[in-house]
Amino acid sequence: METIKLTQFSHGGGCGCKIAPAVLKDILAQAAPLGGFPDLLVGTETSDDAAVYRLNDEQAIVATTDFFMPIVDDAFDFGRIAATNALSDIYAMGGKPLFALAIVGMPVGKLPVETIRGILAGGEAVCRAAGIPVAGGHSIDAPEPIYGLVGIGVVHPAHIKRNSGARAGDVLILGKPLGVGILSAALKKGTLSADGYRHMVETTTQLNTVGAELGRLDGVHAMTDVTGFALLGHLLEIARGSKLAARIDWSRVPKIAEAVTLAEAGVATGAADRNWASYGHEVDVEAGIADWQRKFLCDPQTSGGLLVACEAGTEETVRALFRRHGFAEAATIGELDAGEPRVRVA
């Protein structure tokens, strides 16, 4: 397994594989409307993290799926990262996962069985940490390695946190530091340090379990997780859905130190440019922000942190919950106010 480099089998990795937001919008433009299902509480209307279907007055099912190609070469780490990323969508809705199904596409005959088994073992390890089983799944012979999960969870209908519920005056809190995409780009080039790799794996395998508790806070009005569309893209989804203007302060955004050093030296992902091409017309960047900083905010985050919009009086409670769940770098990065749905970077 040590001689197999998983990333050599794929043209992209992690959430950087996602279809660009503008292209995805065109693809889904003619999708059939979801009217006529009153118990479907969350569908595709605001590009939220998961679908939610009400069973009764106290229970709703949260359902999501997420999968991608390798972001790292180690089989076990790849499985862990993909599984953590998939379950994050359950937590982002304020829910708690119940079980998972595995999605497996592998170049059979090119990857040893032991490598494929290592990927699945990584996913199973994360699900055990989340307290759930991998109860089944589906596999195909594919030209590139693909792995992920279908996640099924539960939430009280009153505790659902959509990405469209923010209110004017809310503050924005980000749970994990940015920079994973830049680290993965450096890994592919062979310029990532051992500490950088360790930091990348640690942050991408940290389950966003805090989301279930945040869902029960009345002062938390909206929530999403920051993944392939980057901080700017997912914040724009909150701004659009909530019909509010957003502002973030670059100096307050938590960042992985090595990723900053690499970005200053010119390391970036192609996905960051694709993201900017999709939504840059909705972002106002102040003159003091350098081009590498703008790209940093467009950097696709695999298994990124939760982005929370909450009333100012709940801010300290939210940050304390993040710290209790092990998110030491969670920080307040900006605010939302009345105005045209845009994001300003200062």
Q: Which residues belong to the active site? A: 15
Q: What is the rounded CA–CA span in Å between residue 246 and residue 140?
A: 42
**C-alpha 9 chain-centroid distance:** 23
- Widest distance between CA atoms in the chain: 57
Q: What is the rounded CA–CA span in Å between residue 210 and residue 218?
A: 15
Query: Strands 171-174, 331-337: parallel, antiparallel or unpaired by DSSP?
Result: antiparallel
Contact criterion met (CB below 8 Å) for 151 and 117: no
Identify the residue whose tokens are 């390695």: 145
Identify the residue whose tokens are 């794929």: 10
b/e burial code for range 73-85 (CB count within 10 A of at least 16 → b): bbbbbbbbbbbbb
The packing angle between helices 270-279 and 21-28, to 10°, is: 60
Strand (E) or helix (H) holding 343: strand 343-345
Beta bridge partners of 225: 306
Structure tokens at 329: 């770098």
As a residue count, the chain comes to 346
Q: What is the rounded CA–CA span in Å between residue 341 and residue 346?
A: 16
Contact criterion met (CB below 8 Å) for 238 and 309: yes
